[in-house]
Amino acid sequence: MASLFALVVSAGAAAAHSKLESMTPADGSTMAAPPTKVVLTFNEPVGRTGAEVQVKSPTGNNVSSGDIQVIDNQVTQPVGAMIEAGKYTVDARIVSADGHPVTVTGSFTVTHAGHAPGSVVPTSQPAAKDNSNVVVIVAMVLVMLVVVALAIVIVRRRPAS
């Protein structure tokens, strides 16, 4: 009888799936500055194979960037530019230790939009003049010189009649 009870208890434990213990930023939270990553913590280790986390902006753009990182029971998804203020949603599909997929949804609100990657915060000094027109003009002059040089070579190689 005791062995039957042990068998039933162990089967129940093996059938349990991973459960989300916490999400950072917390589900339903509001923050002024956008986060740089979303971290999901589960009650047991989860697998990397098939793991997917999408963080969507208020307009539905996926702002997840970089590779997902799975270490033991923690899944970390870096996020890129969060240039919109509003509600961001997190949709995740993780494979639990027993091989079953676990879906997670959550959201958080950003009250002040962040900056795009590589953007510079404006200062009181005037910005330097844009030299992109100079680069285009120099490139066009070089292309024209190459075309003229090729035309001269072609004309000179023709046999005289």
Residue 63 belongs to a domain:
yes
- pTM score, two decimals? 0.62
106-142: pLDDT as tens digits:
999 999 877 655 444 444 555 555 556 777 788 888 8
Residue 73 lies in a domain: yes
Instruction: Establish if 106 belongs to a structural domain.
Output: yes
Q: CB atoms < 10 A from the CB of 31, how many?
A: 13
Structural domain containing residue 23 = 16-110
**What's the rounded Cα separation, in Å, for the pair 51 and 69?**
9
Would 150 be classed as within a structural domain?
Answer: no
- Position 8 in a domain: no
Q: Residue 80: which CATH number?
A: 2.60.40.1220
Would 2 be classed as within a structural domain? Answer: no
The total of structural domains in the chain comes to 1
Among 79, 96, 2, smallest CA distance to 45 is for: 96
Classify residue 158: in a domain, yes or no.
no
Chain segment 12-44, per-residue pLDDT in tens: 444 567 899 999 999 999 999 999 999 999 999
